[in-house]
Chains A and B, each alone.
Chain A
Amino acid sequence: MKILVGIKRAVDYNVRVRVKSDGSGVETDGVKMSVNPFDEIALEEALRLKEAGKADEVIVVSIGPGDVQQQLRTGLAMGADRAIQVEAGDTLQPLTVAQVFKALAEREGAGIVFLGKQAIDDDSNQVGQMTAALWGRPQATFASKVSLNGETATVTREVDAGLETIEIDLPAVITSDLRLNEPRFVKLPDIMKAKRKPLDVIALDELGGVVGVAPEAGHHAPPEPRGRGIMVDDTAALVAELKNRGLV
């Protein structure tokens, strides 16, 4: 079985993101870029399935301009077998990205399309659900536990009310939540090895191109500031202050 893993290049989660002064977007010049954290988790899970003998090949996929090859190399260094870059601009809508994953899943005959539950730049949380819908296959989003049993998978999902379990037939789309696993660290020799692994580049048009009317992103603004309040010296002062404000 082949597993396709979505790898999005995103501003590193430790960076304090700032809005550009002209409101045209957020500052990305000289900012550290990384693999979207949820995608690292998805890849880790795919690699563990392969190591357990339940998958034969793990293919990392990123859709975007040439820069995304850096994150694909990170994925290869973690242990993916090969990589595909789908050449495109960097402001794609989730529906287009989903169209690409559907087309690749069919082309490769994938058993699982493993994605992150959300990209921490656009925070959309849509691509997995859209891929499943377009592909006509099951979706198991927000996964915190995945077990494969032949042609089916049992997935535990983190939902607002607790932990939900569903059973799905493969092929399927699964999206990772934070507690699915802890991704491995990349070792230096693996980075060297990754340079020799195959990385194919495909044009977006070859897989269907842009779909849907794109919402237009306009002005970006920083959130309403929440100013620093007061400091109190001890618990008595804290409770007095809360009582004063009628909060307790």
Chain B
Amino acid sequence: MSKILILAEHDGDTLNPGTAKAVSCAQAITAHGGGDVDILVLGDGIDGVAAQASALQGVNAVLATNAPHLAAPLAANHGPELAAAADGYSHVLAPSSTYGKDVLPHAAALMGVNALSDIMAVDGERAFKRPVYAGNAIVDVSVPEGAVIAGTTRSASWSAAGEGGSGAVQDRAAACEAAAHTRYVGLEGAGGDRPDLQTAPVVVSGGRALGSAENFDLIYGLADKLGAAVGASRAAVDAGYVPNDMQVGQTGKIISPELYLAFGISGAIQHLTGIKDAGTIVAVNKDADAPIFEVADIGLVGDLFTVIPEFEQQLS
């Protein structure tokens, strides 16, 4: 029997879809011997988020902890709070987003347990699969009896749990004091009205070949036509064409859209790690030997500066 606690991710108003995906992973664990799945929401003024969490199918209870020092997603405050709330649970999970990766290992260390990153499959209550070496190997890991299992769930590997649940929302008082040594200053979000890169069904990405921030408008234009989110390779981010939150890959976002279109991206292993779970990969590159063609479902050798305008024309 498992008793699973999931750390919810949210922006104060809306539950991040990574949470619903972590619930699916938790259900794959309880499928092996039963158990309960609870969600912990940390923040300040998070009743709306708690309600969204309780509506997820398969959730037993939502523990809502409101406190001013939990408003910002600081690991210095959220880590100890998660560790305190985890008492009595067999498993503690968080989505493997930058937030989950920041907080979960912190909590695990306070609990004196090791952690598993990026759980992609469940083979038993204590047996999992996770990627290593940028996804070039998938390893079976099992955690011996006697230790709480702490881990992050690889969002691209799990579908979101459905809605229609009715978990009970319980107020849980904060157990830890504010950490004075860490202060939140602010977030500079790229924002925008485009679909979210991590959940959009269609993603259009550009690489170094775009050559400038201005030329990247070509990618935005096509994305808008397709109602798609926009991604980029590390080279495009490093060169300053686009902000960091658009990077796809081993050290950026791991995504699983139904359709991924890559323009002027060579297909380095670190980039491919981020797109392996896409339904269909389309690659346009002027080099016929570009490694991206080894994984593309549909490839076109051509110059993106002519292909994109033609593409838009053909669409309308």
Contacts and interface: CB of A to CB of B under 8 A. Distances in A.
Interface residues of A, number: 82
Given A178-B238, A179-B244, A13 B140 contact: no
Nearest to B148: A213
Contacts of B112: 95, 211-212
A138 B138 contact: no
B280 A247 contact: yes
B142 A160 contact: no
B162 to A, nearest CB: 23
A230 B238 contact: no
Contacts of A223: 131, 135-138, 276
A123 B98 contact: no
Contacts, number: 262
Given A94-B105, A125-B105, A126-B105, A235 B300 contact: yes
Contacts of A216: 141-144
What is the interface residue range for chain B against chain A?
35 or more
A52 interface: no
Interface stretch (B45-53, B212-220, B250-258): B250-258
Interface centre among A11, A123, A214 (most CB of B within 10 A): A123
A95 B105 CA distance: 9
A234 B117 CA distance: 42
Contacts of B298: 229-232, 238, 241-242
A133 B299 contact: no
Interface of B: 11, 74-76, 79, 97-99, 101-110, 112-118, 131-144, 146-147, 179-191, 198, 202, 226, 234, 237-238, 243-245, 250-251, 253, 258-259, 269-270, 276, 280-282, 284, 293-302, 306-307, 310-311, 314-315
Interface of A: 11, 13, 16-19, 26, 93-95, 98, 117-118, 120-127, 129-134, 137-139, 141-142, 144, 154, 157-169, 172, 177-179, 211-223, 226, 228-239, 241-242, 245, 247-248
8 contacts: A19-B137, A129-B106, A139-B106, A144-B244, A213-B114, A226-B281, A231-B299, A231-B301
